[in-house]
Amino acid sequence: MISFRNILKPNASKNTALKASISKVIGYTPKNLNYYTKAFTHGSTNQKDSFGNSISYERLEYVGDAILSAVIAHFLFEKVLEADEGYLTKMRSKIVSREHLNEIGKELKLSSFLHTKIPITQFGDNIHGNLLEALIGAVFLDKGYAASEKFIYKRVITPHVDIDHLEGKVISYKSLIIEWCQKEKKHFNFESLTDAGQDIIKHFSVKLIIDEKTIAKARATSKKKAEEKVSKRAYFALQGKIDKSS
């Protein structure tokens, strides 16, 4: 298998190899290869476009996020006819949640395509979902809305969206833990710790204390992610008590 990481280097092989690799993922031959090159380029490469602007997948990620949200909203509107706005919003949030998109990005092995000077092992799980959104953005700019909708159905909706299953899926473990603590009148605190790791990308460490007892610890590439991660660990540690009170 040809790796995008090698193809994207300035002195790497021909564009035909890149087109072939991308075609396997998106299901058609790219029209403007430049969009897909950007979709898998990390800012650490310090590449610039002809105007001197930094090249990174993040701008395409922004576009892809908007297109994905619109396609999922339309899908739910047509699929669940009896649902009100609140239900539709909640279900869309579950489908486009970072955890869900990360799973899909991992399945497509998108991180193996990334051109970066930072080791892939130093990235958090969110890189998988971020690249998926960047790829959707590239498809939209290259082929338009209809093509991006088709891609989203092929790679996201058809294989991964099960309404019945998603109805019981937790969006935010942190919110769940906070709601439970408030309901049970328990004192809780997310305490930040000094992270002594040697990772190139900065990490944040957090521990969750409930009623003066440390329930779980976690670290991630942002404080928000670390708090969500530690909340998930706490949920499974306290699942019996939480489910019983719900």
Both structure tokens of 237 = 């540690």
Q: Could you tell me the strand order of the sheet in which 204-210 lies?
A: 188-193, 204-210, 213-220
CB neighbour list of residue 20: distance below 8 Å, 6 or more residues apart: 2
Catalytic residues: 65, 133
Cβ count within 10 A of residue 5: 16
Max Cα separation, the chain? 63
**The one-letter amino acid at 241:** K
- 67/234 Cα distance (integer angstroms): 34
176, 235 Cβ separation under 8 angstroms = yes
